[in-house]
Amino acid sequence: MAEGDRMHALVRRLYPLCRSITGDGLRETLAVVGEHLDLTVHEVPTGTQVLDWTVPQEWNIRDAHISRDGRRIVDFQALSLHVVGYSVPVDRTMPLSELRSHLHTLPEQPWLVPYRTSYYAPTWGFCLAQSTLDAMPDGDYEVVIDSTLEDGSLTYAEHVVPGQVEDEVIVSCHVCHPSLANDNLAGVAVAVELAKSLRNPYHTYRFIFAPGTIGAITWLARNDADKVKHGIVLACAGDRGSLTYKQSRRGDAEIDRVLAHVLRDRPHEIREFSPYGYDERQYCSPGYNLGVGSLTRTPYAGYPEYHTSGDNPDFVTPESMVDTLTVCREAVDVLDRNRRYVNLSPYGEPQLGKRGLYESLGGRSDAKDAQLAMLWVLNLSDGDHDLLAIADRARLPFPSVAAAADALHAAGLLKEA
């Protein structure tokens, strides 16, 4: 099966599971990912202090519905979005007039079911289409949420691809959203394929699958962030829109330059950092200020289907996920091959011809990329410019510049800075 189809199949398989920031839906999700990658799964007990936060109680849900005359009108078994995340148990009959304050709809998108949670304030609720609500007559309804909210643990997982150096690149995906395909099963699927394809990379690559916010905070509380040199938060990786890269808080971190380069000749948008969105919020909090950006297609809250039942597996495409994956791989290539050199023959140009590096016939005006790349590398290898800066300045593809540097290095004309 081709990559795109494999990723889409994974999205479809994970879609029905009821994920949240804790609980068995999250564990099952990580178990499925674990069929593809060696995962280290962590369980962090309820009550553990993590930075400014406390790991909450674990939430599990078995069933939920709103019924009338024994017929399920809103049914958690059909769509996990129907229950407000972290709803406390309920089992009552009540009139619609009382039930209403627990119902969430999208009046402007009457056919879609919204996604809502209440992690830190105990309550319960249902999400349903406005059209469903409109069709519900007054009268009594049976309201059941068969959930538990008890001490337990928060679950997250890591997959590490050891590199030639211990400096790490993290790829972080939130895995806490229930039946939402683009947000973030597509991100998970792209991360899985990316991880599978890494072979003896230069950096050590760490893939983090954790619930949003509290998961990233837990990871940061339990790890040494200093080893994280670069990172990408992957989300909304499969919709039909073009790619958007949101810069790290630094704005000029190497990962920011890498993604700008890789996206340069594609339709794309670069956004400045903002402290809203996904877990870049945590990685880029001012105490850490890591070089971690966020790669999405259409970004956070940028499409009408966002956080609704419209974000289903049909909303994401194999082609889009392959495109996101390709960009991730090109970024990895740049990150892993980017170096800073010093020209050892900096006075005038060295004579490339006598080293077999330059075409002998002069006068032609169509200098080749390979020759231009060598001249650029020689001219800018002053210890200040890395190869990426040279590729940007020369408007040449990074691989051409890296190949030129390799050839010049082999010829003894460069040394690493």
Q: How far apart are CA 293 and CA 281, in angstroms?
A: 10
**Is residue 33 a contact residue for a second copy (CB under 8 A)?**
no
Q: In this structure, are residues 112 and 131 in contact, taking their beta carbons and an 8 Å threshold?
A: no
Q: Which of 41, 51, 90, 160 binds a second copy (CB under 8 A)?
A: 51
**Is residue 41 a contact residue for a second copy (CB under 8 A)?**
no
> 200: phi > 0 → left, psi -120 to 50 → alpha, else beta; which?
left
**Is residue 169 a contact residue for a second copy (CB under 8 A)?**
no
**Is residue 105 a contact residue for a second copy (CB under 8 A)?**
no
Q: DSSP states of 388-407 as a string?
A: HHHHHHHT--HHHHHHHHHH
Site string for a second copy, 65-104 (x = CB under 8 A): --------------------x-------------------
Q: How far apart are CA 110 and CA 129, in angstroms?
A: 6
Comparing C-alpha atoms, which of 168, 153, 148 is closest to residue 60?
Answer: 148
**CA atoms within 13 Å, Cβ hemisphere of 223:** 18
Q: How far apart are CA 388 and CA 393, in angstroms?
A: 8
Q: Which of 378, 401, 405, 408 binds a second copy (CB under 8 A)?
A: 378
**Is residue 361 a contact residue for a second copy (CB under 8 A)?**
yes
The interface region with a second copy, picked from 27-35, 57-65, 148-156, 367-375 by CB under 8 A, is: 367-375
**Is residue 350 a contact residue for a second copy (CB under 8 A)?**
yes
Q: How far apart are CA 294 and CA 46, in angstroms?
A: 29
Q: How far apart are CA 270 and CA 287, in angstroms?
A: 24
Q: How far apart are CA 217 and CA 195, in angstroms?
A: 23
Q: Which of 131, 353, 368, 417 binds a second copy (CB under 8 A)?
A: 353
Q: Which of 6, 102, 116, 264 binds a second copy (CB under 8 A)?
A: 116
Comparing C-alpha atoms, which of 311, 119, 293, 287 is closest to residue 215?
Answer: 119
Q: In this structure, are residues 375 and 396 in contact, taking their beta carbons and an 8 Å threshold?
A: no
**Is residue 23 a contact residue for a second copy (CB under 8 A)?**
no
Q: How far apart are CA 56 and CA 153, in angstroms?
A: 8
**Is residue 286 a contact residue for a second copy (CB under 8 A)?**
yes
Nearest distance, CB of residue 225 and a second copy, angstroms? 9
Q: How far apart are CA 17 and CA 25, in angstroms?
A: 6
Q: Which of 70, 137, 267, 287 binds a second copy (CB under 8 A)?
A: 287
Describe the strand order of the beta sheet including 58-68 as a list of residue ranges: 71-75, 58-68, 140-150, 90-95
The answer to whether 183 is a known ligand-binding residue is yes
Closer CB to a second copy, residue 274 or residue 326?
274
Q: How do strand 53-54 and strand 49-50 relate by DSSP bridges?
A: antiparallel
Closer CB to a second copy, residue 3 or residue 369?
369
**Is residue 124 a contact residue for a second copy (CB under 8 A)?**
no
Closer CB to a second copy, residue 142 or residue 392?
392
**Is residue 118 a contact residue for a second copy (CB under 8 A)?**
yes
**Is residue 120 a contact residue for a second copy (CB under 8 A)?**
yes
Amino acid residing at 177: H
Q: How far apart are CA 321 and CA 173, in angstroms?
A: 14
**Is residue 410 a contact residue for a second copy (CB under 8 A)?**
no
Q: How far apart are CA 229 and CA 256, in angstroms?
A: 12
**Is residue 196 a contact residue for a second copy (CB under 8 A)?**
no
* Count of beta carbons in the 10 Å neighbourhood of residue 108: 8
Q: Which of 11, 30, 64, 394 binds a second copy (CB under 8 A)?
A: 394
The answer to whether 177 is a known ligand-binding residue is yes
Q: Which of 9, 370, 372, 389 binds a second copy (CB under 8 A)?
A: 372
**Is residue 345 a contact residue for a second copy (CB under 8 A)?**
yes
**Is residue 220 a contact residue for a second copy (CB under 8 A)?**
yes
Q: Which residues are annotated as a binding site?
A: 177, 183, 307
Interaction site with a second copy (CB under 8 A): 51-54, 85, 114-121, 123, 213, 216-217, 220-221, 249, 272, 274-276, 281-282, 284-289, 300-301, 306-307, 343, 345-351, 353-354, 360-365, 367, 372, 375-376, 378-382, 393-394
